[in-house]
């Protein structure tokens, strides 16, 4: 495969409709021939690993994944392909040359690719003004939706661009039949915005499961809590409080068997843990570019299971949710046939562009490689912290451990400040220092952080 296809062409970037069969583009879309294997394929793996892009005069294939899941580090000999890929990806994040940045669970690092995409956006704004919408930005929205669908291994038309997780939850909530059932099962380990959706509604009964070990919720707890009054199980993919990864297929199955929905907050999941949403059977999944997808603040992603989409009509809505958006007819509203029926107005375009930049890197490295690298960094962190005598609030099983590592500490705020003086960026929550490496970090950075933390006790 020639190197020409690895990089986007500067001249035509942004003009490209990102998906051959995408009927969601602006009307002026050239129909060009597409190579037969790609036109025909329904093979998800193939579709995930390659992106077909049609320019005005040629068809270009992008390889989405540069590396496969192999051990993260070879202690001896030449660097492996994965090491080279990771080193290359690392060089795209300028902060890493200045700081030891281990706080991706709060905010993913900014890459120069994201900055470049943002620069393209502002340059077009200067150059074309509103005309940039039709030729470029409309396609960027579609590009991002498509990339996130690929990230979720989800069918076309199942992802909506939203302003925030809270907005996703509000929109989904408005589409459900609360007269039929009015109980939500959630947990004490979930992010507060999830619970707040229903805390403010006196008509909704919330069951908040407690974690026996302060780290996990056993799927059986969900099974015991759901009944014929339960409208949804609402919980996280990865708990921000403990980093524990939940079994989405088990949760979705429990909800489905009880006639309830599964609504998953995946903000701490997507980007650090591979997600195949159709395989799990979850009904709703929310995420966003802010953290593990390295795309910045101002946007969120809402996945809705495709069979559900035509059945749901959100009552919090916008002109982006209607099929005839450009008829500008206030007297008529028809829901979009795809997940855009959940959208809530013009997405934050600057973030759309930084998110595409971050997503390009994530796609190039590949989720399997990211998970393998993050697991290697996490195991090193957990092992070294244990040796240094720290008590951790993390899963005891590596397979359900993510790269969010909570370290019990007497004065977490002081420890974070002390590390910051040494150029190490981590975070704190009550009673804990939170360390969250990502694929762009190294084992040396992990070791340096443990050493610095040990000096704070």
Q: Using CB under 6 A as the criterion, which residues of the chain lie in contact with ligand PLP when the complex forms?
A: 164-166, 191, 193, 236, 240, 265, 267-268, 288, 300
Q: Which is nearer to ligand PLP, 136 or 237 (CB)?
A: 237
Reduce the DSSP state of residue 429 to 3 states and report it: strand
Least Cβ distance, residue 163 to ligand PLP (angstroms): 8
Q: Which is nearer to ligand PLP, 265 or 338 (CB)?
A: 265
Q: Which is nearer to ligand PLP, 138 or 191 (CB)?
A: 191
The DSSP annotation for 184-211 comes to EEEETTS-HHHHHHHHT-TT-EEEEEPP
Q: Which is nearer to ligand PLP, 165 or 175 (CB)?
A: 165
Least Cβ distance, residue 243 to ligand PLP (angstroms): 11
Least Cβ distance, residue 436 to ligand PLP (angstroms): 11
Tally: H helices and E strands in the chain: 16, 14
Least Cβ distance, residue 164 to ligand PLP (angstroms): 3
The DSSP annotation for 103-148 comes to BTTT-PPPPHHHHHHHHHHHHHHHHHTTHHIIIIIHHHHHHHHHHH
- Going by C-alpha positions, the residue among 188, 185, 198 that lies closest to residue 224 is 185
Contact criterion met (CB below 8 Å) for 172 and 198? no
The burial class, CB within 10 Å (0-12 / 13-18 / 19+), for 5 is middle
Q: Which is nearer to ligand PLP, 137 or 285 (CB)?
A: 285
Least Cβ distance, residue 137 to ligand PLP (angstroms): 22
- Residues with Cβ within 8 Å of 449's Cβ and at least 6 positions away in sequence, in order, are 100, 102, 381, 419, 424, 426, 435
Q: Which is nearer to ligand PLP, 265 or 283 (CB)?
A: 265
| Residues forming a β-bridge with 186 | 208
Burial 398-419 (b: 16+ CB within 10 A, else e): eebbbbbbbbebeebeebbeeb
Least Cβ distance, residue 101 to ligand PLP (angstroms): 17
| Residues forming a β-bridge with 394 | none
Residue 256 CA: distances (Å) to CA of 218, 259, 373, 427, 448: 17, 5, 34, 37, 46
Least Cβ distance, residue 376 to ligand PLP (angstroms): 23
**N-term to C-term CA, the chain:** 53
Question: How is residue 86 written in tokens?
Answer: 């990771």
Least Cβ distance, residue 416 to ligand PLP (angstroms): 17
Distance CA 410, CA 394 (A): 17
Least Cβ distance, residue 244 to ligand PLP (angstroms): 12
Question: How is residue 122 written in tokens?
Answer: 């502002």
Q: Which is nearer to ligand PLP, 145 or 237 (CB)?
A: 237
Distance CA 359, CA 405 (A): 24
Least Cβ distance, residue 102 to ligand PLP (angstroms): 16
Q: Which is nearer to ligand PLP, 236 or 449 (CB)?
A: 236
Count CB-CB contacts under 10 A for residue 4. 8
Least Cβ distance, residue 203 to ligand PLP (angstroms): 22
Q: Which is nearer to ligand PLP, 19 or 434 (CB)?
A: 434
Q: Which is nearer to ligand PLP, 263 or 376 (CB)?
A: 263
Distance CA 246, CA 239 (A): 8
- Going by C-alpha positions, the residue among 283, 220, 224 that lies closest to residue 247 is 220
Q: Which is nearer to ligand PLP, 369 or 416 (CB)?
A: 416
């Amino acid at each position: 495969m020639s190197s020409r296809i690895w990089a986007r062409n500067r001249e035509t970037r942004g003009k490209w409709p990102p998906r051959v069969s995408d009927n969601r583009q602006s009307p002026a879309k050239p129909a060009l021939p597409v190579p037969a294997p790609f036109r025909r394929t329904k093979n998800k793996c193939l579709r995930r690993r390659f992106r077909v892009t049609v320019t005005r005069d040629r068809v270009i294939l992008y390889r989405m994944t540069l590396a496969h899941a192999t051990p993260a580090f070879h202690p001896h000999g030449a660097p492996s392909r994965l090491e080279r890929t990771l080193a290359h990806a690392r060089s795209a994040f300028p902060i890493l040359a200045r700081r030891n940045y281990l706080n991706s669970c709060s905010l993913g690092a900014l890459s120069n690719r994201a900055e470049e995409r943002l620069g393209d956006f502002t340059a077009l704004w200067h150059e074309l003004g509103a005309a940039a919408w039709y030729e470029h930005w409309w396609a960027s929205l579609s590009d991002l939706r498509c990339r996130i669908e690929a990230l979720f291994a989800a069918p076309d038309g199942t992802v909506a661009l939203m302003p925030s997780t809270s907005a996703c939850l509000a929109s989904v909530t408005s589409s459900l039949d609360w007269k039929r059932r009015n109980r939500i099962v959630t947990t004490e380990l979930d992010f507060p915005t999830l619970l707040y959706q229903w805390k403010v509604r006196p008509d909704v009964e919330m069951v908040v499961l407690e974690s026996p070990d302060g780290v996990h919720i056993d799927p059986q707890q969900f099974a015991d809590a759901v009944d014929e009054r339960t409208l949804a199980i609402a919980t996280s993919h990865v708990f921000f409080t403990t980093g524990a990864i939940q079994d989405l297929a088990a949760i979705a199955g429990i909800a489905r068997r009880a006639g309830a929905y599964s609504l998953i907050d995946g903000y701490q999941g997507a980007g650090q843990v591979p997600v195949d949403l159709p395989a799990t059977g979850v009904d709703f999944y929310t995420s966003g570019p802010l953290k593990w997808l390295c795309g910045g603040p101002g946007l969120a992603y809402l996945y809705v299971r495709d069979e559900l989409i035509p059945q749901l009509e959100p009552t919090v809505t916008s002109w982006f949710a209607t099929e005839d958006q450009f008829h500008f007819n206030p007297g008529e509203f028809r829901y979009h046939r795809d997940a855009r029926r959940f959208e809530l107005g013009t997405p934050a375009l600057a973030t759309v562009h930084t998110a595409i930049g971050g997503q390009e890197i994530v796609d190039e490295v590949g989720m399997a490689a990211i998970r393998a690298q993050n697991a290697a960094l996490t195991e090193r962190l957990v092992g070294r912290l244990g040796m240094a005598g720290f008590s951790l609030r993390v899963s005891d099983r590596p397979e359900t451990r993510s790269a969010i590592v909570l370290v019990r500490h007497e004065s977490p705020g002081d420890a974070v400040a002390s590390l910051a003086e040494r150029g190490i960026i981590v975070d704190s929550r009550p009673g804990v220092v939170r360390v969250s490496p990502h694929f762009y970090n190294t084992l040396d950075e992990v070791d340096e952080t443990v050493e610095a933390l040990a000096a704070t006790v």
